[in-house]
Structure formats: structure tokens, C-alpha cells
Amino acid sequence: MQAGVESDRGNRRRPCRGIVTWLCLFCFLNLTACTGLRSVVPAPLVFEEQSTKILEIAPLGTPKEQAIRQLNDAGISGDFSSSPSIYYCDLWQREDGTQWHLNVALLFKEDGTLYKTRPAQADISWEQEASATEQTAP
């Protein structure tokens, strides 16, 4: 009789394992979809190309509020620095679901119009520093 009890327990546990597995998978997929845990990759464009794409969305001379709204509508998010005249474009949520990390800062005049772009981050690497040290060494 015990053999029958053990086999019943074994049959009952198998569906629970399947349910738990599917529940975990479901939760993981929802977590990645809802929290944006998709990978963020560097934009496959150099600064000049990123800048050109951004200026197609918000051309030079565009008022600050309108430029930010147009960028947000296009999936580009960012933030102002400590100065309200520099806006750093951080992420571009592309229509295909990819997220690009951008390297563009927008500069606004005192009257609030967009007048220039520049790289948001300096391009510094160990290789450049090493070659500069070699050039200045006696």
C-alpha cells in the first residue's frame, strides 16, 4: 500500500514543478519587459552621426521645451546638468526595441534656443594617455 502512496505523491509533485517553472519564467519575462532590463548598447554611430540624427528631430534654433518634447516623443531621454543650458542625451529607445547609449549634449542660449551640440563625454582611454606620456618623456 505504501508503494501506491509514494507513486501518488510523485505524480502530484511533477505538475507543481512545471507550474513553478512556468511561473518563474513568466515573472522573469515580465520583469525584463517592465523594468527595461534589456541591454543598453553604445550607439553604433559616431558623435557626428548621433548629433545629425538628433538635430533632424530638434533642429538648431528650436526652443528648449519644444526640443525636449520632440526628443522624448522620438524615444530620446536625458537630463539637464547643474546648468539649465546643457541637456545631456542619455538613452535612445529605438522602435526596434534596442536602447542606445548616446554621447550628445545640447547647448541652449540664454534665450532658451538650441544653438550647438557637443560630445557629452570626453573620449579618454589608457592608450591615449600612454602615448601622450611617451611623447612628453625625455
- Rounded CA separation 105/90 (Å): 9
Closest CA relative to residue 100, chosen from 30, 46, 35: 46
User: Residue 41 is inside which H or E element, if any?
Assistant: strand 40-42
Report the chain's mean pLDDT, rounded to a whole number: 78
- Rounded CA separation 18/115 (Å): 59
Give SS3 for 125.
Answer: coil
Give pLDDT, residue 103.
94
Give pLDDT, residue 123.
60
pLDDT tens sequence across 57-94: 999 999 999 999 999 999 999 999 888 999 999 999 99
